[in-house]
Amino acid sequence: MLIDGCSALVTGGASGLGNATARALTDAGARVVLLDLPSSQGEKAATALGPTARFVPGDVTDGDQVQAA
């Protein structure tokens, strides 16, 4: 799969499977937005992933928050 230079939104990206997915995507050259709860460790996770990752706090059960991301 060619994803170098693509952008991805990863829900639950602050930890677990979401973070592993975000890591795989950034390792393959994608830009990644981690969408996770404000109380998560999203900022730390995005920093650990490097300059092509950023954290956006939000709740995927709230459609308006997902749209804002």
**pTM (two decimals):** 0.87
Residue 2: the pLDDT is: 83
- Could you report the per-residue pLDDT of 43-66, keeping only the tens digit for each? 999 999 999 999 999 988 888 887
Q: What is the mean pLDDT of residues 12-32?
A: 97
Total number of domains in the chain:
1
pLDDT above 70 as % of the chain? 99
- Strand 53-57 to 31-36 pairing: parallel
Strand order of the β-sheet with 31-36 is 7-11, 31-36, 53-57
In a domain, 66, yes or no: no
Residue 49: the pLDDT is: 98
Beta bridge partners of 32: 8, 53
In a domain, 34, yes or no: yes
Domain extent for 37? 7-60
In a domain, 44, yes or no: yes
Residue 1: the pLDDT is: 67
